[in-house]
Structure 1
């Protein structure tokens, strides 16, 4: 097979639980499964990985028959276009044997000749719903670190990133922050922003479907909540001021040293030219 014809395959992983505030990250996977043709290609059975009192089996009725569905992580193959295929991984965060679990995930990546691995996550934070939700995008060694660069609790995405990087995979981890004051209902805005960041990383325009409309509905519901609660409105206003300050600080940091030197040089050249004109005028007087 020629290089031009070879499919680029990326594994995208998200897990229910501690890493998935408001189901924002796993809903990216669910959205992709609805937006594109997909095929289930494998799974990691829950036996030995889950505490069934934490991740309980579900009783389902299928064609009049009762069936117990046990917790499991599933893999789906989705062809985005002629050159890009996604291997989507989704399931509950395991309770036990994280290293073994991640090794099985990486084995699936090997079977499908995955080129790189992207993990998705969402977390509650002090951020306002009236501004773009904060996104942290960590690549390589940073993907196995806390987003603030300090030690702290980690989840299964961090372990998967770390072990995959040790095996030579390019890894990236994308996390979105969700306003903690809005509770645990689904957050379409966070899912939409994760999807858009994923689109940018993959270099393709992923289908957004109904997510923009759902995100606007989420904002409208939040606005009603603030309208009915003056204390909450004041709290959000303080968060807005802090978010705006941080945004302004980031904009100022984008003026890097070479750019600053260029501005200084332009100013010096302008002043020098004005001086030369002045001297020329004096000599002709």
Structure 2
């Protein structure tokens, strides 16, 4: 009896403009930490990065000073014996996107990838009190965001388009994060992407520590709402729009200085919560 053929899915996420609150790249970090994983390939940084934007980092490793340059890392992650994820994580390149994507697809070809999934996260006018929206599109079906959006795109969109042209089955997933809760991490957004990734792969991926982190994030956001009447009123308007009780365009405008102040207050509040004992 012949062995079942192993399926390999390339999962790509990029730090920077496409990665609000690190929610997309945190999916890959979570998978690497949760499942058996091995670094298998790298794409060198030379020619792809502006080092005044993606700066090298100095650190001490086993007593020796090292310079760590921005680079692309590929991990082979064993989800099941029959399903592997080839995870690609990197800062978004500054230069030569077409060449970078071609090099990425060469790695996909080398590992006999069957399908390519790109992840992204963006700030949006959505309430944290509802399931965070996830827009999913694939080779045969565009989501509403794809059909309505006209404007700048990031490297996930370019990689997705080039992979589609090369004949790969492709899927793009983008999670929306409340713009008024600016913070370093948003575990609910990462968990939402992980849930949709589970559906796409046909397996139940382990949420692990993300579940508890998401609950703590929601608790901090709820506490912030109780302390800020303006934010509370704004979230109620977002809830009504989300629930379809009123069109989003009918919401009262939220001017830039007011929004900026709320984000600043939220960041300070969540930072204080993060520094306090659990």
TM-score normalized by the length of structure 2: 0.85
Partners of 1:110 and 1:143 lie apart in 2 by 25
Change (3 A) 1:119 1:190: same
- After TM superposition, give the deviation of residue 37 of structure 1 in Å: 1.1
Partners of 1:49 and 1:144 lie apart in 2 by 30
The 8 Å contact of residues 73 and 92 in structure 1, kept in 2 or not, is answered as yes
Partners of 1:20 and 1:167 lie apart in 2 by 25
Q: Does 1:231 align with 2:222?
A: no
Residue of structure 1 in register with 2:98 after alignment: 99
Residue of structure 1 in register with 2:266 after alignment: none
Change (3 A) 1:48 1:118: same
Partners of 1:56 and 1:18 lie apart in 2 by 15
Partners of 1:159 and 1:246 lie apart in 2 by 36
Partners of 2:57 and 2:158 lie apart in 1 by 27
- After TM superposition, give the deviation of residue 246 of structure 1 in Å: 7.3
Residue of structure 1 in register with 2:252 after alignment: none
Q: Does 1:244 align with 2:238?
A: no
Partners of 2:232 and 2:49 lie apart in 1 by 41
Residue of structure 1 in register with 2:204 after alignment: 205
Change (3 A) 1:231 1:247: closer
- After TM superposition, give the deviation of residue 82 of structure 1 in Å: 1.8
TM-score normalized by the length of structure 1: 0.83
Residue of structure 2 in register with 1:34 after alignment: 33
Partners of 2:209 and 2:66 lie apart in 1 by 32
Residue of structure 2 in register with 1:277 after alignment: none
Change (3 A) 1:32 1:142: same
Q: Which has the larger radius of gyration?
A: 1
* Higher helix proportion (structure 1 or 2): 1
Partners of 1:242 and 1:63 lie apart in 2 by 54
Q: How does 1:91-170 map to 2 (within 5 A)?
A: 91-140=90-139, 147-170=146-169
SS in 2 for 1:234: helix
Change (3 A) 1:219 1:144: closer
SS in 1 for 2:150: coil
The 8 Å contact of residues 141 and 165 in structure 1, kept in 2 or not, is answered as no
- After TM superposition, give the deviation of residue 94 of structure 1 in Å: 0.2
- After TM superposition, give the deviation of residue 208 of structure 1 in Å: 0.8
- After TM superposition, give the deviation of residue 120 of structure 1 in Å: 0.4
Q: Which segments of 5 or more consecutive residues in structure 2 lack a partner in the other structure?
A: 248-278
Change (3 A) 1:114 1:145: farther
Change (3 A) 1:73 1:247: farther
The 8 Å contact of residues 135 and 143 in structure 2, kept in 1 or not, is answered as no
Partners of 1:118 and 1:243 lie apart in 2 by 27
Residue of structure 2 in register with 1:6 after alignment: 5
Deviations 1:251-273 (A, max 9, x none): xxxxxxxxxxxxxxxxxxxxxxx
Partners of 2:246 and 2:84 lie apart in 1 by 35
Partners of 2:164 and 2:146 lie apart in 1 by 17
Partners of 1:243 and 1:144 lie apart in 2 by 17
